[in-house]
Every structure is written in structure tokens, then in C-alpha cells.
Amino acid sequence: MICFKEKKIFLLICYERNRHQATFKITLDVPSDLTALSNMPIADENLEGNIRTVYFEESPIMSTYLVAVVVGAFDYIEEMTADGIKVRAYCPVGKSDKGKFALDVAVKSLDIFAKYFSTPFPLPKLDMVAIPEFAGGAMENHGLITYRENDLLYDELLSSTARKQRLVIVVSHEVAHHWFGNLVTMEWWTHLWLNEGFATWVSYMATDIIFPEWKIWTQFLKQTTYGLRVDALEQSHPIEVEVHHARSILEVADDISYNKGSAVIRMLQGYLGDRMFQKSLSSYIKRYAGKNAKTEDLWSILSEESGVQVNSMMEAWTKQKGYPVISVKSRDNILEFEQSQFLSSGSHEDRLWTVPITLSIGSYDRHKTLPLETRFGELDISELVRSADENSSSFKEKNEDNCDEHLWVKVNIDQSGFYRVEYEDKLAARLRKAMEGNYLSEMDKFGILDDAFALCMACKQSLSLLLSLMDAYRKELDFVVLSKLVDVCYKVVQISGDAIPDLVNELKQFFMNLLLFSSEKSGWESISGESHLSALLRGEVLVALSTFGHDNTHKEAIRRFQAFVDDRNTPLLSADTKRAAYIAVMMNTSTTNRNGFQSLLNVYKEANTVQEKERVLCSIASCPDPDIVLEVLNFMLCDEVRDQDATYVLAGISSKGGEVAWRWLKENWELISTKYGGDGMLIQHLIRDVITLFCSNEKADEIEAFFESRKRPSFDMNLRQSIEQVRIKARWVENIRREQSLRDQIKHLARKK
């Protein structure tokens, strides 16, 4: 029996060795006016004075880490699924209507997964609870999912389009865990990816079914990129990584387990086919329901069902770290492939993978698939080339030079494989021409730019080549492609501040010119009936223009912000455009001009919604004045900012605030360590977001020296990865400085309209 006497919200989650499974029969003593929840429905309750004793039904067999109780003051709303499962959303008192959207998503997700896995939801009820202080996004406790408030509460006026989308993915992710994770549980944390990789992958599947117009599988590429970025580090780890103690779990609950894991699943699904993959997963769930499973158990069933030796094919992808870059060359009508491990540091390690190569030649109608199992491979494309000559009259009309050597070749169609591609110069030139002619899919345009940026950072391609490629995206209007372009712009500006500081303004001008076409199309005002993706694009592009200091954007943003300060209900500033306005305010703030900053602080303090508070915190450290950044960081430590929300502030620190942020971190380490050290997630974010602002080996040495006596198991790997990223950028800085024609090229691009 657990007794609660104070009137606060209590959350108890057990994290133990999950191979220990049992049934649980929980009893709680709680203040009579508080709600008590656990994994199972209430069986009975007794009232004695002001204390209520609550008896919960006995649970089915489950892992100890999924046991949870919540006690607090809540309002709730409920719905029933088609199978009769009662689903409730517990929200702060007076805000139950804000849980309606998440509740609807949960009900639909339950029906989708029950059909997809051919297995019913394993419990009689599902409760979802908004927790006011919660470091993670959510936790899939069996039948009692707990969320950060922002990931469960949706306000049609105050929630941005991006927040709405994240809510759908997070809710469906946690619901999916009731099959992958709760019903079938990983044998040990080594196999964490079976929980998180699959829940990530299947949450995108559910989102695509519920909102097909969102083109969520195209957006999935952003998740794949996060995995590729971390797995290109020497300090990465395999998907299956030895975990010797539960204290180390948070270190491996990272982009490898979630994003590489889900990307590898997507790659395997594409190789085996959708129907075969679904049939195999259904068999896996049925065989291991109520039991523990390891990666080999899943591979075994996939092999049985498909006839493909999945274990031998996938072993390298899960048991060794890293991934390959495929170098592609053309000789006559022969394509030559070579695989080698891709490392951002430029180092070399002798590893091989079975790589499912997919490619198209001149058209997506002419495609080929082959497994590359050795370091070198070849493919005769004569038949595909002849097909192009015979059947592409429309292609000929649009391309005067339609002879064999001008056919484009795209490897890794729609970025379905977890690898990068490096083309020889003539193939890269053909691809760019195809892109300018609008022959390539959004996924492939995203992938070409993402690969080019990664190769540039690894010093395998010049910044000049990357900038030339970026210029080809000038008329782009697709949200996912533009979001990748914006991401690359941010990173190039950051590295240029160290490598070529006298050219940063010209670079920003070039990048602003790239984005103005889409910005002028989308404007500041939403259009009745516009798509979800159009709304996402508007926010993304305006934030970028504000960040780069676009004068007209700043003027308009500040005008609209002032209208918002005067009237919080003004239609001039929507949830999707507020962050751009807040950044513009902070970009124009200094110690001698604090009015906008003070107004923004007032917005934060007066806000009674988590959505508004998050938006302010994400923007408030973007000021170029180091003294203001220091003030913001100290404000973050005060009681007015929840501990969980520190991550929003840190992610928004401007590059000019790097030195002051590092000094602040060192001077306040004991306080910071005490305040956030109890939760590995928060301290990991803090370390990464401050350290990775730097681009020099000297700073990396200084960081290593500072943490030499302050390391902890909960953030040791994160620290090593962050320091490695600093050294990678230091090498990139030196490589950029050696480029001879870069200065003239940047000046030319800055003038180009």
C-alpha cells in the first residue's frame, strides 16, 4: 500500500530490470478530493474521513518498469474504441477540452494497431495524463501513459501546426508501445531499440493513416537524418549496445535507438515488402505476447515468414555501429559501387554491411534493386538505358541532349536506405540538372542536399560545391525540402563564423535570397483552406529570415509583436508566426534597448498556457548581446521556469552567446548539477546544447579538462559525442579556410536575386 497525504500531483514509475515480470495488485491511500490512477481500473474504494483507500484490479503479467501510479487534481474526458476499450485524457482542472484532440488520436491509433498486429489491446482501459513537470516527452506505462502537458494538450488557437503534428506522433508512439514494449518486452535494455525503433516507425504509419495529407513519411526523413548524424561519430554505438546497469539506460535512449532503429526498420520493410512485413510482425506479437524477446527472435520470425535470411542481412546493421557511404561511378553502361564506413571525422574503419541498393535511371519508371554484400559491386544498366531511349519521348522534349551520358542516376530512391551516397562529378552534375528540371521527388531532393552537407562537413566535398548545389533550391516550395535547406543554412552560417567571419553577412544574404521566393508566396497570414504543410512552411521560413536578420521581416515582425503586446487576441500574430516575431524582438535587443525583451518576459509571466510559455523560452536566448544571454540563462534557473523547460532555452542560444553560456555553465556547475543532475535527460541536453556551439580544438581541450573530474555515467557518452562534434567542426573550419575560390563565389551568390 502507498499512502499520499499532500495535495500535489504525484507520479511514481518503477525502473527495474525488465526481465522481471509479475502481476501487480496495487492499493493507494489518497486525500479524498484527489484522483488516483494506476495501470488497471479501480476495483473498489473505501472512505475514512479525508482519506480514500483505492483498490485496483490485478494486472496481467507485465514488466516492473511499466508499473505506475498518479495522484493529483484532474478533469477528464473519455471515449470508447470500436472494441470497447475505455480511453480517458486527464488534464489540468478546467482544461479537459484541451485533451480532446489527443483523445481522438489515441482512439484511432488503438484501432489501427489492433488491426495491423492482428492482436487486440491487452488491457480494459487506457488513461493518458498531462503531468506539469516531466523531463521526457512521454512514458508508456501499461494502461497509464504520462505526458508532458505540451504533448497531450492541444489548443486550436495557441498550438502551432508543428506542435499539433508532434502531438499526433507522440500519442501514437506511446499507444504503439502497448504492443511493442509492453505486451512483448525486450529481454534487456540491450534490445531497447525493439521498443523505441518500432514505436517510432509505427507511429509514423498511424499518423499517415489518420492524416494522409501531411505526407508524414516524407517528413520521416528528418528523423533518419538525426540518426545518420549521430551514427557518423566515432563515439556512436551499435543499435544493440551492452547495458550493464539500469542507470545507463538514458544514455542509449538516443537517436540511435529511436531514429536509426526506425530507419533500419523502414529499410527492411521496403526490402521485404509491406504485406510480408506486416504478417511477420503479427506472428512475432502473437508468439511472444506476455514474454521477453530479443532482436534475434524477431529476425527468426521474419526469416521464417519471408524465406529471406534476415539475421545474416541485418546483423551488421544492429550489432556494429556506423553505416556506409556508397561511392558511385559510371563507366560506359556499367555503374560501379564501393562501400566504406562514413565518419564525419574523416577517419577510416574496416566495416561492411549488406546494403539494399535501390536506383532509378532517367525516370522513376526505370529502377533496379540489388544487395551490395561486398566492398565493390557493379551493375550493367544497358537495358535500362535502351529503355530510356525507346520510351521517353516526353523526356526528349524537355532535354535536348538525351543521349546515354546525360541520363541521371539516383541511388537510394526516396532515401529508403540508411546510408549516404557520393557521386562522381559527372553523375552529380546530371542529378542537379534533373533536380532543376523538377524530375526528382521531394524525398530525393531532400536526400541529395542532406548527403552533400554531410560530405562537406566530413571534408569530402568543398563548401563551394555545397553552396552551388544549394543555389539550385532557389524556387523550392516543398516544406520538407525547404526545412532541410534551412537546416543546412543554419549550420553553414555557424561554421562560417569561425572559418570566414568576414563573409558571414554575404552568406546570410545569399541564404535570405534563397528563402524569399517561398516567403513571398506564404506571407504572414494563413489562407483559408490552406494545407497543413503550407502552415508548417510559413513558420519555418519566417523563423529563418528572422534568425538571419532580414530587415523587412524584422520590421514586420516587430510591428505585429507590438500589436500583440497591446492586444493578446490580435489576429496579426498566429501560433505559427509568433516564434519568428519573438526572435526578431530578441535580435534587436541589447543592454541599451531592453523594451522588447521586457515585453517578451511579460508575455511569458502572464501566459497561462504551456504553449505560449514554450514559444517564449525557445526564442529568448537568440539575442546577439552576450549580457542579455547571460541574464536569460540566470532567469532559466529561477523558480518561474520549470526544470523540464530548460531544454527550450538551451536549444535557442545564439552562436554569439556561446562563450558566455560556457562561462555560465562552468561558474554554476554545482548549482546546475544539483538542480538538473537527478535527471539524465536534462543534463544531457544542457551539456550538448552549450558545448556544440564551438568549432575549435582549443575549446574542445578546455571542455575535456573541465569535465575530467566531473564525469558521470548518465552523461559520459553524450559528453564524448559533443566534444567529438566540436573537433569535427574544427577540422571543417580549416578545410574551408583553404578553399581558394570561395570568397568570390560567396560574393557572387549574395548579389544574385
Spatial CA neighbour of 616 closest among 642, 655, 590: 642
Task: Indicate the class that CATH gives domain 323-382+405-443.
Answer: mainly beta
Please tell me whether 173 is known to bind a ligand. Answer: yes
Q: What are the extents of the domains in the chain?
A: 22-182, 199-319, 323-382+405-443
Beta carbons within 10 angstroms of residue 693's beta carbon: 21
- The answer to whether the CB of 581 falls within 8 A of the CB of 524 is no
Average pLDDT over residues 81-90: 96
Residue 380: beta bridge partners?
334
φ and ψ at residue 333, rounded to 5 degrees: -110, 30
Average pLDDT over residues 287-300: 92
- Planar angle of CA 81, 83, 85, nearest 5 degrees: 55
237: annotated binding-site residue? no
For residue 201 the three cell numbers come to 516507425
Rounded CA gap, 242 and 237, in Å? 10
pTM of this prediction? 0.94
Main-chain phi, psi angles of 139, to 5 degrees = -140, 130
Dihedral sign for Cα 743, 746, 751, 752, please.
positive
For residue 325, is pLDDT > 60? yes
Is 455:424 a contact under the CB 8 Å cutoff? no
State the pairing for strand pair 51-56/75-80.
Answer: unpaired
pLDDT(1) > 70: no
The 8-class DSSP code of residue 622 comes to -
Residue 544's pLDDT is 98
**Amino acid present at 679:** D
Predicted confidence at residue 654, as pLDDT, reads: 87
Q: Tell the residue number behind the cell numbers 554505438, with chain if given.
A: 237
Answer whether 328's CB lies under 8 Å from 341's CB. Answer: no
Which 8-state DSSP code applies to residue 460? S
Q: Given the C-alpha cell 525516370, which residue does it identify?
A: 363
The radius of gyration of the chain from alpha carbons, rounded to an integer in Å, stands at: 26
Tell me: pLDDT of 395 over 50: no
Lowest mean pLDDT among 200-209, 236-245, 479-488, 711-720: 236-245
Asked whether the beta carbons of 460 and 423 are under 8 A apart, the reply is no
Residue 590 DSSP class: B
Sorted by sequence, the CB contacts under 8 Å of residue 539 that are 6+ apart come out as 160, 161, 162, 576, 577, 579, 580
Angle formed by the axes of helices 658-667 and 697-707, nearest 10°: 10
Is 142 labelled as part of a ligand binding site? no
Angle between helices 551-566 and 595-606 (to 10 degrees): 50
Measure the CA–CA gap between 313 and 333, rounded to whole angstroms: 28
pLDDT in tens, 635-667: 999 999 999 999 899 999 988 899 999 999 999
Which amino acid is located at 458 in the chain? A
Q: Write the DSSP symbol of residue 59.
A: P
Spatial CA neighbour of 216 closest among 595, 591, 480: 480
Three-state SS across 83-144? CCCEEEEEECCCCHHHHHHHHHHHHHHHHHHHHHCCCCCCCCEEEEEEECCCCCCEECCCCE
- What DSSP assignment string belongs to 232-292? TSTT---SS----SGGGHHHHSSHIIIIIHHHHHHHHHHHH-HHHHHHHHHHHHHHHTTEE
Residue 344 C-alpha cell reads as: 564525419
Say whether domain 199-319 belongs to CATH 3.30.1360.120: no
- Say yes or no to pLDDT of 424 above 80: yes
The predicted pLDDT at position 15 comes to 46
Rounded Cα distance, 675 and 669, in Å: 10
**Cα 355–chain centre separation:** 24
Percent over 70 (pLDDT), the chain: 93
DSSP at 541:
H
Q: Do domains 22-182 and 323-382+405-443 have the same CATH topology?
A: no
| All cell numbers assigned to 507 | 552568406
Query: DSSP letters of 176-201?
Result: HTTTBTTTEEESSGGGHHHHHHHHHH
C-alpha cell at 528: 483559408
Candidates 129, 154, 155, 146; CA nearest to 74 is 129
Which residue do the cell numbers 527472435 mark?
297
Predicted pLDDT at 133: 87
Contact between 678 and 478 (Cβ < 8 Å): no
At 17 the pLDDT is 42
Q: What confidence tier does 254 reach under pLDDT thresholds 50, 70, 90?
A: confident
Is the CB of residue 128 less than 8 Å from the CB of residue 88? Answer: yes
Catalytic residues: 174
Q: How many whole angstroms separate alpha carbon 716 and alpha carbon 702?
A: 16
Taking all residues of the chain, what is their mean pLDDT, rounded to a whole number?
92
Q: Residue 49, class by beta-carbon neighbours within 10 Å (0-12 exposed, 13-18 middle, 19+ buried)?
A: exposed
Are 88 and 147 within 8 A, CB to CB? Answer: no
The pLDDT score that the predictor gives to residue 679 is: 60
d(Cα 408, Cα 431) in Å, to the nearest integer?
A: 5
The pLDDT value given to residue 389: 65
CATH architecture assigned to 22-182: Orthogonal Bundle (1.10)
- Using 50, 70 and 90 to split pLDDT, how confident is the model at 16? very low
Tens digits of per-residue pLDDT, 742-751? Answer: 999 999 999 9
- Residue 402 CB: number of other CB atoms within 10 A? 16
